[in-house]
Amino acid sequence: MHAISKPVSRLDGALRAPGDKSCSHRALMFAGLAEGTSLIEGLLEGDDVKDTAKAMAACGAQVERLSLRRWKVTGVGEAGLQNPTDVLDMGNSGTGARLMMGLVAGQKLKATFDGDVSLRARPMGRVLNPLAEMGAKNESNDGKLPLTLEGAPLTAIEYTPPHASAQVKSCVMLAGLGAEGTTIVNEPRKTRDHTERMLRAFGVTVDVEEKDGSSRISLKGGQKLTATNVDIPGDPSSATFLWAAGLLVKEGGVSVLNVMENDTRDGLVHAAKAMGADLVVEQTGESGGEVITTITSKPSALNAKSPDLAIVPAMIDEFPLFGVLAAFADGDTLVTGAEELRVKESDRITATVNMLKANGVEAEERPDGFLVKGCGRNGVPGGGVVEACHDHRIAMSAMVMGCAAKAPVKVDDISAVATSYPEFFAHMQSLGADIEQG
Ligand code: S3P
């Protein structure tokens, strides 16, 4: 199905952000491994997370949906996870696939992993290499899916991932849970820390030393998880689409409630503020060990501001949308140090630049980022067709662009939006967006 987002002058309203995708995957996995029954509230019911729920059930956890966003998981505890009888199909999800590989290796299981055409194109060597160093065996399609992974008695390693990646860190930590000795992961640039936080909530001791933006995580093997109830906070990445649309139109104001505030995820808030965005972040409570906020945006004139290298990991999922903000800004924006974008759900450097160019914005690829020549406020021509490339964030960014461009923006295929934000179109329409699906 395609969608066309037509220009509107006003967006306003207040909406609750959907559950965080990263936390939802982890909650299902950790609850499935733990001893006892955990109640998970606010779970993101996107396709990626549902694939993780199926994978955990295939490995022996009892996973049950009680009602909307309320799930009950009875973990395997002492009995341990079991070999799945079927292929684990992780769909579009890099997080689901890579974290499950850590669990499979650490629990000494044998499993075959597969995924959709986008996931089959993504590199898995980044997790297979450290897992092999720990003692797990694999047979892969040249470092890609489909692949079979076989756990064995693992030995702890000290590992410094060559890329800033929370998925790699988390995979090694989860394998480390089943390894002999203390597993250490060094991160020269700290990435999202939901695994560290949530493992602690399940009773695991995780030591973290932080210094000048780097992080050293240690975890002793053999620790058991104990069931706990988890309240999933709202997804700051999903929230960005709503508040960014509120910045770009001429009138109104958009508030997003229940947004998790975590300094490993809030890069776009800082980047947008540095561009002159009228954004107010108010703390409203705490949930699942995370601070909860309301983010309110008002129409703003933006000035180009290239993001610092240090902020890149904290906005790694937000670059397609950042490209849209840069297109509306006055001046040129250069993104560097973001080569990881090449191996996301799509090559997000190419997909972002193509999205902008198709809509009359001058943009150029760089090996590790992109350059955008901003059109200034309300100057984005629009009128183009964007190829989503199986990438939810490209599709949603293009829809936001259409709200404030001079002519409608079309996306060829919106199916990927359901992986992370099934309510996206309903939410945008309730704010006043004019989006036609067909
Ligand atoms: C995620 C880590 C990031 C991010 C992804 C979710 C996670 O991927 O892009 O959307 O939940 O650990 P990388 O580890 O590849 O940077």
pLDDT, tens digit, for every residue of 273-325?
999 999 999 999 987 778 999 999 999 999 999 999 999 999 999 999 999 99
Provide the annotated active-site residues: 317
High-pLDDT (> 70) share of the chain, %: 99
Q: Residue 337: its pLDDT value, please?
A: 97
Same domain, 200 and 267: no
High-pLDDT (> 90) share of the chain, %: 98
Same domain, 320 and 278: yes
**Per-residue b or e along 213-245, where b marks 16 or more CB atoms closer than 10 Å to that residue's CB:** eebbbbbbbeeebebbebbbbbbbbbbbbbbbb
Of 213, 231, 249, which closes a domain?
231
When pLDDT is cut at 50, 70 and 90, the band that residue 204 belongs to is very high
pLDDT, tens digit, for every residue of 384-421?
999 999 999 999 999 999 999 999 999 999 999 999 99
Count of the separate structural domains present in the chain? 2
| Closest residue by Cα to residue 187 from 168, 203, 206, 200 | 168
Tell me the C-alpha to C-alpha distance, in Å, between residue 290 and each of 166, 234, 265, 284: 17, 10, 12, 11
C-beta of 128 in contact with ligand 1 (< 6 A)? no
Same domain, 147 and 250: no
Q: Residue 56: its pLDDT value, please?
A: 98
Same domain, 387 and 259: yes
Range of the domain at 52: 21-231
Compute the average pLDDT of residues 323-338.
98
Same domain, 338 and 208: no
Same domain, 412 and 398: yes
Beta bridge partners of 373: 332, 362
Q: How far is the CA of 404 from the centre of ligand 1 (A)?
A: 29
C-beta of 95 in contact with ligand 1 (< 6 A)? yes
Residue nearest to atom 10 of ligand 1 (CA): 317
C-beta of 237 in contact with ligand 1 (< 6 A)? no
C-beta of 340 in contact with ligand 1 (< 6 A)? yes
Q: Residue 289: its pLDDT value, please?
A: 75
Residue nearest to atom 13 of ligand 1 (CA): 165
Nearest atom in ligand 1 to the alpha carbon of residue 317 is 9
Q: Residue 286: its pLDDT value, please?
A: 87
Same domain, 176 and 124: yes
Q: Are 64 and 32 in contact (CB under 8 A)?
A: no
Q: Residue 116: its pLDDT value, please?
A: 97
Of 206, 231, 256, which closes a domain?
231
Compute the average pLDDT of residues 12-29.
98
Same domain, 267 and 364: yes
Of 231, 254, 280, which closes a domain?
231
Q: CB under 8 Å to 119, separation ≥6 — which residues?
A: 90, 91, 92, 93, 94, 97, 145
Compute the average pLDDT of residues 347-359.
98
**Per-residue b or e along 26-50, where b marks 16 or more CB atoms closer than 10 Å to that residue's CB:** bbbbbbbbbbeebebbbbbbbbbbb
Q: Residue 68: its pLDDT value, please?
A: 97
Same domain, 31 and 7: no
Nearest atom in ligand 1 to the alpha carbon of residue 25 is 11
Burial (CB count <10 Å: 0-12, 13-18, 19+), residue 342? middle
Same domain, 73 and 84: yes
Nearest atom in ligand 1 to the alpha carbon of residue 165 is 14
Residue 290 maps to which CATH number?
3.65.10.10
Amino acid at 425: F
Q: How far is the CA of 166 from the centre of ligand 1 (A)?
A: 5
Same domain, 75 and 193: yes
Same domain, 29 and 10: no
Q: How far is the CA of 167 from the centre of ligand 1 (A)?
A: 5
- Among 165, 315, 348, which is best to mutate for testing ligand 1, by the most ligand atoms less than 8 A from CB? 165
pLDDT, tens digit, for every residue of 41-86?
999 999 999 999 999 999 999 999 999 999 999 999 999 999 999 9
Q: Residue 378: its pLDDT value, please?
A: 66
**Pairing verdict, β 214-220 and 182-187:** antiparallel
pLDDT, tens digit, for every residue of 111-146?
999 999 999 999 999 999 999 999 999 999 999 999
Q: How far is the CA of 192 from the centre of ligand 1 (A)?
A: 8
